[in-house]
Structure 1
Amino acid sequence: MIGMENNDEIIFHQRLKDQISVIRGTVNSSTVERGEDTVESIYLYGNDFVDIVAPEFAKQTGYKIEAVHYGGGEALAKIEAEQGNPQWDVVMMDGHGSIRNLADRGFLMTDWTPENIGNLTEYGSSLVPEDHAYTPISIHASAVIAYNTNRLTKEQAPKTWDEFFEYKGTAGQADPAVAAPAYPLVSALFYKWGIDQGEQKYAQMMGNGLRVYPKNGPLGSALVSGEIDIAALQESNAYDLKLSGEPVDLIWPEEGTALLGTLIGASLAMTDLPADYWG
């Protein structure tokens, strides 16, 4: 688990700009060809931010782009199902382990570097793999402690994961079997506490009424509505709710939290495109 300083809205929105920039460097044409078909759109599969990034990308570049918004698990399942006939051109999602797995199994184009790779920070550059199968665009917390400000004050909200799991009111988290960001959090907590203590803490919290939601979106909605008081909510969802004026604030746990990388990769099918596609 790694501690991070409390981010502000400038950092939050800068991430969106970074994502648009990397996609622009990844795809440099408005036409994608698959066999005999010509598709006048770039197809982007992803989870967080694709609905925001796609129209902004189109506005800045003039290229047509179709963003298909999935949960992390759904996107991976779709890519698996389409492996014989990929319908996607670019994947953008958090879950560096999952994207690395796609690369290792030959789903992603390798040995190509975006022309704007220099926009990465020194740390970002250190995360670029040797085979250049994907480009890292951000790193964020798989979960922070978010709370409903109509139900709790900052002083009353848990400040650590131990306090979160000892909370006697209504609490929620995303399902680690479905929501991509939830799995690293649960893994980190079990690493922190050990298997036996981790199981005890989850059993205790389930007994106190822990509510598990399929994704971070419904989890955030439950927090806003007051259905739950606190949530182990993905950082981006928590900031989005806060900056939208919802009764939500967040706390970075004192002992830190699990971090998750967001990556962009291109389909292996794109290597069959003519040379002038890449500009």
Structure 2
Amino acid sequence: MPNLIKKFAPPSLKGISMTLGLSCALFSASSHALTVYTAGPGAMAKQLAAGYEQQTSVKVDVFQATTGKVMARLEAEQANPRADVLISASWDTAVDLQKKDWLLAYESPNAAQVPARFKTPYYVAQGISALGIVWNTKSGTPKPAEWSDLTKPAFQNKVTMPDPALSGASLDLVLGLENARKAETWKLFTDLKANGMVISGPNAQALTPVLQGAKAAVFGAVDYVAYSGIARGESIEVIFPESGTAIAPRPMMILKSSQQQAEAKAFIDYVLSPEGQAIVAASWLMPARTDVQGKRPDFSMLKILPEVTPDSAERNDVLSRFNAIFR
């Protein structure tokens, strides 16, 4: 693994100052806090909020949880909206909210270096993760190479998986596999269930028993969490099956109901600045900008399953079918 993790060099101060794109009006103190709802790394969210506050003097209130919990809170507050900016772990979240006409159109000047597939006039990727097998190298099990390897007797009762109902990225993998393999996908999950794979809540909860040695592997782990563990000296390895995997761009969007739209636009600018993208990279995500160096393999090095953007009804059908196997 060490040869896959690239050395990370922070951007120059000159580059930061030239590309922040923040509104000058925001550099004065503001009495209004910006509210950001985000799935994903809590430490990264705090760093981005702190960096933005330092640049603008605008306070940021962050609510960080799983995609499922973030979306449930957003739905519950529709009579009295609080969120200004939403960052999800699932691209489909943004697609659905745009269809509902909940989003404010905004194209940040700092998105110029973001590939077209990761941006629209209404939302843009903060960063990108990929889904893989995370294997405990001291588990005494053979190194898996494919998803189906985890159905073998050596992995009986030794595999976990994040819950697709709680993890948007995990659901993206299920959708990608179903789109590519149809009936074979459901046979795979049936075989995994028969081999004792357990659904273990959100991503960190699925990874913990593998780190502790109680389990041997995670099926469909969000890779940035595992890379962070490797950097801390954990005995795990991230494996991307050659048959293909899913990537999960993390969309940022501004809610049309926001009363702090100028501040929200400036926050998007900051996250997409070289400084903001350096924070994203330091959290072991792939930066959204192609001109910012990451610390791990990027999506160009992976075989990606055919992308699909199902509507909410189709996603619910796939999730119901998955739950029928594991519940």
* TM-score in terms of structure 1 length: 0.78
Asked whether the 8 Å contact 1:140–1:259 carries over to 2, the reply is: yes
When the two chains are superposed, the root-mean-square deviation of aligned CA atoms in Å is 3.3
Alignment partner of 1:114 is 2:103: no
Q: Unaligned regions of 5+ residues in structure 2, if any? A: 12-18, 267-327
Provide the rounded CA distance (Å) in 1 between the counterparts of 2:175 and 2:24. Answer: 35
Asked whether the 8 Å contact 1:146–1:249 carries over to 2, the reply is: yes
Q: Which amino acid in structure 1 is aligned with residue 108 of structure 2?
A: P
Task: Give the aligned partner of residue 72 of structure 1.
Answer: 67
Give me the identity figure in percent: 19
Asked whether the 8 Å contact 2:254–2:261 carries over to 1, the reply is: no
Q: 1:147 aligns with which of 119, 124, 135?
A: 135
Asked whether the 8 Å contact 1:44–1:90 carries over to 2, the reply is: yes
Q: Which amino acid in structure 2 is aligned with residue 128 of structure 1?
A: K
Task: Give the aligned partner of residue 96 of structure 1.
Answer: 91
Q: Give the 3 Å change call, closer, same or farther, for CA 277–65 of structure 1 in structure 2.
A: closer
Q: Deviations over 1:46-78 (max 9, x none)?
A: 111243233344244243212211101111111
Q: Give the 3 Å change call, closer, same or farther, for CA 211–176 of structure 1 in structure 2.
A: same
Provide the rounded CA distance (Å) in 1 between the counterparts of 2:28 and 2:97. Answer: 24
Q: Deviations over 1:101-150 (max 9, x none)?
A: 1122122111x2223223x24xx234322xx2112232221x21111122
Provide the rounded CA distance (Å) in 2 between the counterparts of 1:9 and 1:256. Answer: 22
Provide the rounded CA distance (Å) in 2 between the counterparts of 1:12 and 1:167. Answer: 44
Q: 2:200 aligns with which of 190, 213, 217?
A: 213
Q: Give the 3 Å change call, closer, same or farther, for CA 256–101 of structure 1 in structure 2.
A: same
Q: Which amino acid in structure 2 is aligned with residue 139 of structure 1?
A: I
Asked whether the 8 Å contact 2:21–2:109 carries over to 1, the reply is: no
CA offset at residue 222 of structure 1? 1.5
CA offset at residue 277 of structure 1? 8.6
Q: Give the 3 Å change call, closer, same or farther, for CA 7–25 of structure 1 in structure 2.
A: farther
Count of aligned pairs: 252
CA offset at residue 265 of structure 1? 0.6
Provide the rounded CA distance (Å) in 1 between the counterparts of 2:63 and 2:24. Answer: 17
Asked whether the 8 Å contact 2:118–2:249 carries over to 1, the reply is: no
Asked whether the 8 Å contact 2:125–2:249 carries over to 1, the reply is: yes
Provide the rounded CA distance (Å) in 1 between the counterparts of 2:24 and 2:46. Answer: 12
Asked whether the 8 Å contact 2:145–2:240 carries over to 1, the reply is: yes
Alignment partner of 1:125 is 2:116: yes
Q: Give the 3 Å change call, closer, same or farther, for CA 68–58 of structure 1 in structure 2.
A: same
Q: Which amino acid in structure 2 is aligned with residue 81 of structure 1?
A: A
Please give the secondary structure, in 1, of the residue aligned with 2:134: strand
Q: Which amino acid in structure 2 is aligned with residue 115 of structure 1?
A: P
Asked whether the 8 Å contact 1:41–1:64 carries over to 2, the reply is: yes
Task: Give the aligned partner of residue 125 of structure 2.
Answer: 136
| 4+ long deviations beyond 4 Å | 9-14, 22-28, 272-279
CA offset at residue 228 of structure 1? 1.0
Provide the rounded CA distance (Å) in 2 between the counterparts of 1:23 and 1:92. Answer: 19
Provide the rounded CA distance (Å) in 2 between the counterparts of 1:47 and 1:11. Answer: 24
